[in-house]
Amino acid sequence: MPAARVYYLLALTTLLGMVGIVVPAAAPWALAADGAIVAAFAVDFFRVRSAALTATRQWPELLVQGTDAEVRLELGNPGRRTLRVRLREALHPGVAMAPEHTECEVTPGGRATWRYRVRPRRRGEHAVGPLTARVLGPWRLAWAEHRVLPPERRRVYPQVRWEGKVGHLLLLAHRHALGGNPQRLQGLGREPYGVREYLPGDPTNKIHWKATARHGRLVTREETWERGARLVVLLDCARGMSGQDGERSKLDHALAATLALARVAAARGDRVTVAAFSDRVERTLRLHGGRRALQAVYGGVYDLEARLVEPAFDVAAECVSQLEPRRATVVLFTSVVDLAAAELLRQAVLRLERRHRPILINLEDPELVALAHGAPATPEDAFARVAALEILLANRRLGKRLRHAGVRVVHTSADRLALAALEAYLALFR
């Protein structure tokens, strides 16, 4: 394409042509100047089109949603003259807000480094366009475009790094030192540990009668805190989880909390299963311990998206029965935004409670909360506020009825979701 210098020269020849209207002798010179400029442009373009460029792109080890990351590009010039280059990175909107641009000079046999930062906005696998370079000709008359690097695909993962109490718990889990957690364990353990001679004050319901009859003296059971428990995480991927809470959707927050919970449970030695559902079972993953298993879980759920359908809580409950026929802890992440879904949810959770220990984590909808606490300015706003208050009241009634049935229920906002889920799960073993 023509450079700015070409347009300046053509403007001058245009002035010369205007003079040729008054002085006819100047017209041939104007035409000759135009021809010379076009010829020079063509020569400059063909010279720069053969310019050789090399490039390498270095991505960070992990691209995480909502976290800044630095990309490093190195441009090499194996030619014999200095090249002036304009670079353009065509980035997917899920990776960056807009394409990145820069301009630099690369000396003969030298290298130029370009660093830029991205802040991924959406999880999933995104296409990163080719790296294109426009090289300016030696006479600065023409730009020639080169495709330096081909397009590629990059994965953006959910949140993996945490601060505060959640980060502290994950650090203890990474060090396999959850026993050092200052949260005190209360009550009696439930996992068999051994037997010993009965001592005054021991609970009578702990007496091991078969061992007592065999040894001829009272023998009691010793029990410790549960390890190797079974955990099933149900992740709602239906319409209610598609709403935005800040820069991320409710499903983004719930997925990050799910992965944090899986990391802590796996560090305890628990058997973890993650099941995502909407109006059907979308995906199921089992975590069989070890760092590679955690990586497999991240790789298996990083691209989950909310579908605009109603959640089938009964299908999720049936899925738990198939995945874990034995007693397990079931943590259900959802967001109730309509009254019909609340009743279906209640029935499904009570069905789970017959065999398992369900924990309901209900993520508050920020739009409903804003409507319920805002002052209506129009009749339409008043109707919207009444509807929002009714839904919030139904959520409270749902929580109260489930708590009376022995179900642990947590209502929380997105910024406390991960911590609330971890505390509710660890409280079972205190």
Model confidence over 163-212: pLDDT tens digits? Answer: 889 998 888 877 765 544 444 444 445 555 578 888 887 888 888 888 88
CA dist 318 → 141, 277, 314, 324, 352 (Å): 71, 11, 6, 10, 9
Q: Alpha-carbon torsion 58, 60, 62, 66, what sign?
A: negative
pLDDT of residue 37: 83
Same domain, 102 and 248: no
The structure tokens 């690097």 sit at 149
Q: Model confidence over 47-97: pLDDT tens digits?
A: 888 888 889 999 998 899 999 999 999 999 988 888 899 999 989 889 998
Same domain, 219 and 232: no
Same domain, 204 and 308: no
CA dist 25 → 16, 30, 33, 35 (Å): 11, 10, 14, 17
Backbone angles phi, psi at 141, to 5 degrees: -110, -25
- How many domains is the chain partitioned into structurally? 3
Same domain, 143 and 262: no
The CATH number of the domain where 94 resides is what?
2.60.40.10
Residues of the domain holding 253: 164-183+226-427
Same domain, 260 and 299: yes
Same domain, 280 and 419: yes
pTM exceeding the 0.85 threshold for the entire prediction:
no
Same domain, 285 and 209: no
Same domain, 76 and 170: no
Same domain, 59 and 70: yes
pLDDT of residue 184: 42
pLDDT of residue 182: 41
The whole-angstrom separation of Cα 122 and Cα 303 is 9
Same domain, 131 and 199: no
Tokens linked to 253: 């927050």
* Closest-CA residue to 254 (of 412, 425, 423): 412
The whole-angstrom separation of Cα 293 and Cα 262 is 10
Buried b (16+ CB within 10 A) or exposed e, 106-134: beeeeebebebebebbbbbebebbebbbb
Same domain, 270 and 201: no
The beta-carbon contacts of 173-178 under 8 Å, at least 24 apart in sequence, are 173/263, 173/264, 173/266, 173/267, 173/268, 174/263, 174/267, 176/267, 178/264, 178/267, 178/268, 178/426
The CATH number of the domain where 361 resides is what?
3.40.50.410
Same domain, 248 and 369: yes
Helix 4-22 and helix 26-49: axis angle, to 10°? 170
Buried b (16+ CB within 10 A) or exposed e, 301-327: bbbbebbeeebbbeebbebbeebbeee
Spans in the chain with pLDDT lower than 50: 179-188, 225
